[in-house]
Amino acid sequence: MAEPNKLGESGAYLGPGTKITGKLQFDGPATIEGEIEGEIIGHARVTIGQQATMKGKISAVSVVVQGKVIAEVQAEKKVEIHSPGSVVGDVNAQTLVIGDGGVLEGHVSMRKEGRVLPPRQDVKPVQDP
């Protein structure tokens, strides 16, 4: 039986030794400990465990990385990278948390209230008359 997460919900679990190529979709929380190549779409929290390797793209409400991710990561709310986790790829989220020992190699886009904020250089200075 899967151990409940912090919210008391049990979710999908793909254990060590699992290898999947393709598109995975989860309606509830999911924990990945195997190897995935392709795309993960999560309508809740997706956790990439310490033993996991993910290559491709992750889109979810929130993403917790403790393993190795070589992918574009898009989260509606938050992306967390905890030691010894690493992300090689671009991250797009409202909130980004990188714990001691976590690694991120890529570009970060932070948005507020579901919208991507314009780049700083697009802001025009106010000119005096």
> What pLDDT, in 10s, does the model give residues 77-122?
999 999 999 999 999 999 999 999 999 999 999 987 654 433 444 4
Summary mean pLDDT of the chain:
85
- What per-residue confidence (pLDDT) applies to 8? 43
- What per-residue confidence (pLDDT) applies to 117? 35
Mean pLDDT for the stretch of residues 12-21: 95
Task: Return the exposure string of 26-61: e unless at least 16 CB atoms fall within 10 Å of the residue's CB, then b.
Answer: beebbbbbbbbeebbebebbbbbbeebbbebbbbbe
Mean pLDDT for the stretch of residues 30-59: 96
Where residue 22 falls (left for φ over 0; alpha for ψ -120 to 50; beta otherwise) is: left
- What per-residue confidence (pLDDT) applies to 3? 40
- What per-residue confidence (pLDDT) applies to 124? 53
Instruction: Please say if the pLDDT value at position 76 is more than 50.
Output: yes
pTM of the model as a whole: 0.79
Closest CA to 56 of 92, 88, 19, 98: 88
